[in-house]
Each structure stands twice: as C-alpha cells, then as structure tokens.
Amino acid sequence: MAAYPPVVTGPASRVELRISCKGLIRADLLSKLDPRCGRTETIKNQHNPQFVKAIEMTYQFECIQKMRFEVYDVDDSVLSPDFCLGYTECTLAEVGEIASTQKTVALYVIIVSLRSLTKKLTNDQITADCGTITIAAEEISGNNQLLELQFSAKSLDKKDFLGKSDPYLDFARQNPDGTYSAVHRIPHVLKTLNPHWPAFKVQSRLLCGGDPSRSVRVRCYDWDEASSPDLIGEFFTTMAEMGQAAEGKTLEWEAIHPEKKRKKKNYKNSGTISLHSFKSTKLYSFLDYIMGGCQINFTIGIDFTGSNGNPRNPTSLHYINPSCPNEYTMALWAVGGVCQDYDTDKLFPAFGFGAKVGGKVSHEFPLNGQWDNPYCAGIQGVVQAYHQSLQTAELYGPTNVAPIINHVAHFAAQAAGTDQQGPSTTQ
C-alpha cells in the first residue's frame, strides 16, 4: 500500500502580532471600556489599551494571509455583536512590509514602523469615529530563555487621595521605530508605597525578542478598580543589565515621572525600584533536542474493542476496503509517517488491546503475534501487521489502555537507565 506523505509547504516563519488601540468609542456611556482584541486579554477601563498578550501565527511568503481584527467592549466571555467597537481587515504581508520611511496607503492605512501598521476601525452600525488599531509584527526569535525576576520598590508617590497606592509593574520592549509594545504585566499590591512583588517568570523572547541589549521600559502604575491607572514613574533598562542581579547584586533604578520632571525644577524621583534576583534557564525547542541526538521511539496501540463494529461490516472503523483505507490505517500513516523520520532504526513495537486472542481477552498483544519481537519494520510493516491481526483477533472489550501505557513507560525507563552517556529516549 502506498504511503500518505505529509503536505509539503514553502518556507515559513513564526511571527507575533502585538495590538494596541487609540480613541476607542464608548459603547456604555456610564463607564469606560473593557476591550478585547482577537484573543488578547481584557483590559478594564481603557480607551487606549496596549494588550500584553501577543497573537502568534505562521507567516508564509507564498500565501495571501487575510486577517480581520475586531475590538469588543466585554463584560463577560461572550463576544456579542452589540458590543463590537469596530473592526479592520488587512493581510499579514501588509503588517510585515518593510518600508524605509513612513507612508500612507489608501488614505487611512499608515506604516508607522518597519513592521507596524495602523488602521482606522470601522463599524457599519456606528457613524462616529471608532478609533484606530495598531498591529506590530515581529519574527519570533529562536533564542529563548525562561527568566525569573523579583522586584520591590521604596518610597513611591502616593496616588490615592484617601489611601496609599496599589502599585504594579508594566514591561514594554522597544520597537524598531522607537515606540514600545507592552509584553508583560505583574499584579498590583494593595495599599503600599513600599511593595515587594512576588517573583515572576517571563520568556526572554517576549521581554526583549532574544536581544539582550534591546531597550526595555518598566513603568510603575497605581491600579484603580474603577478608573484608568495612574503613572507613578518609569525607568529604562536591558536584559543584559538586569542579568547583573544573577551575580547576587541588587540593582536599583529611580522611578521618573516625565511630566513631573519637566514641570518641577527640584524634582528628584517618584521612588526607587529594585531588582533582587535574576535567574535564567535555557528553553530548548523540539528541534534542539533532535539536533542534540535525542532518540524518539514510536509505539503504537490500536483499539480492538467491539465498539468499533464488526470488521466485515462496511460501517466498521476496522473494515478493510481494498480501494480506500479505513480510519485506523489513515491515522497510522498520518502520525507514523511523520514520527518514523525521527526514529533511527524505524522498528516500531505495535500492540492491540480489547480483543480475544487465542480465546482469551487481552489488553496488550503484539500485532505481529511475536511476543519476543513485537517490532514492525516501518509504518508499512505496522499496517500489514494490523491487517493480519484483524484476521485472528476477535473484537471484544472492555477498553483498557493501561497495560500498553505501562509497557511504554517501562521501555522508556529502561532506556533512560541503561543509556547513561547518550540522550534520553522518549516513547
């Protein structure tokens, strides 16, 4: 039987889209907005939200990838058309277009940076100006680390008239055009001017795009439940600078409020922010493991319970049609056809469960009938053994996959215990 090869596509890159909006129209006249864009988080009480959660997608040069962005004012998880603040459409190529200068396209589309696009939001039900949405695209870096940081602050400005501030930190990385996109936000601490934030984790790919020298803006805000947050102060740093805290040093920055610094001659700062610890752990991709020599062993388990239907009946999932493979065969080729390329010997142990074999119910039997050697040569060999086993095994039950899972776990434990010098084996 011929194999079913995976679909081959052209070169592709992973990109992330970062979203911000300005001048969103109010849907509820008695409150500010809680907008959500695409699959981002919800930001409460903001007409000019900068969403932290990015939208990741695959960019393929040879494809026209049309996108539609809809912005909603949400009070729950339901995105009702009645609360749509506006939408816009573009292609991924538009967002990723490399332009040497800013330019205007079709009167209302503005390339604001090398990889950023601003468009007006529209809504057929609203005649007023709906505001704008900016989409900044950037290719995802392969160099990624998991960072763990712990901050505190001292003597922050008091922002609440009847009490102390509720401070939180907002992290943004610099774009090629000099603007900043929010990438991470840590929760507020209630009623304190000297907060100690819990340690948090963030990927270096998000914080600085894999570039340790890239500028990172850290802003301290006073959180307000019913209104927009108030800026306390900000400072600028880099991942490379923050990495000095990994050596046991405590780093300290002044929190500067730009407006206060501009207006007040004797202004010093709005408090100080300290970084007490910085831990970095390399995050490995699937390809890193493969390039490092990791072996992947592929084990197959097939359901032979009676719920699949009589194999002689064309409605059965196990029915063998000479002109068309059944669903189990297609699944074997679809999954196995990919996995077999990562297995050096291409010998796959294949088992069935939930059938009567030799008059006894078995929840783990080799498809080729050889307990001392349950390995099949390639996916083609697995398919042949599967077809042969349908002639000798009687579909029965119940469904019990535990014996096969335990068998695979035993294989993996053996490989990890006996191959001390080589990479671990995953099944």
CATH classification of the domain holding 47: 2.60.40.150
Q: What pLDDT score does 59 carry?
A: 65
For 207, the domain range is 145-282
Whether 190 contacts 165, CB under 8 Å: no
- Segment 129-158, tens digit of pLDDT: 778 888 777 766 667 899 999 999 999 999
Q: Quick one: tokens of 12? A: 């592709």
Instruction: Indicate the number of domains in the chain.
Output: 3
Three-state SS across 147-203?
EEEEEEEECCCCCCCCCCCCEEEEEEEECCCCCEEEEEEECCCCCCCCCECCCEEEE
Q: Please indicate, yes or no, if residue 309 is contained in any of the structural domains.
A: yes
**Boundary of a domain, candidates 282, 306, 336:** 282
pLDDT at 81: 60
Q: Output the CA–CA distances (angstroms, integers) from residue 320 to 367, 388, 394, in the order listed.
A: 16, 11, 15
Is 95 within the bounds of a domain? yes
Task: Tell whether 258 and 334 lie within a shared domain.
Answer: no
Q: Containing H/E element for 72? A: strand 66-73
**Residue 83 per-residue DSSP state:** G
Q: What is the mean pLDDT of residues 93-103?
A: 43
Q: Are residues 156 and 135 in the same domain?
A: no
* 79-83, 191-195, 246-250: range with lowest mean pLDDT: 79-83
Confidence at 201, pLDDT banded by 50, 70, 90: very high
Q: Is there a single domain that holds both residue 23 and residue 117?
A: yes
pLDDT tier, 288 (very low <50, low <70, confident <90, very high otherwise): confident
> 182 in a domain, yes or no?
yes
Copy the structure tokens of residue 117. Answer: 């696009």
Kindly state whether residues 292 and 254 are assigned to the same domain: no
Give yes or no: residues 119 and 17 share one domain: yes
Is residue 94 a contact partner of residue 47, using CB atoms and an 8 Å limit?
A: no
How far is 89 from 69, CA to CA, in rounded Å? 6
- Claim to verify: residue 30 and residue 153 sit in the same structural domain: no
Average pLDDT in the 245-272 region?
Answer: 95
**Within a domain: residue 175?**
yes
Instruction: Specify whether 154 is located in the same domain as 271.
Output: yes
Are 265 and 178 found together in one domain?
Answer: yes
Q: What is the model's pLDDT at position 64?
A: 64
Does the residue 5 lie in any domain? no
| Mean pLDDT over the full length of the chain | 81
For residue 154, how many other CB atoms are within 10 A of its CB? 14
> Same domain for 149 and 273?
yes
Identify the domain boundary among 122, 139, 156: 139
Mean pLDDT value of segment 6-35: 60
In a shared domain, residues 356 and 276:
no
Do residues 95 and 178 share a domain? no
**Does residue 69 lie in a domain region?**
yes
Residue ending a domain, among 251, 282, 313, is 282
The mean pLDDT value for 238-255 works out to 95
d(CA 93, CA 17): 12
Per-residue confidence (pLDDT) for residue 202, from 0 to 100: 95
- Judge whether 2 lies within some domain: no
What is the pLDDT averaged over residues 93-121?
44
Q: What percent of the chain has pLDDT over 70?
A: 79
127 and 175 housed in the same domain: no
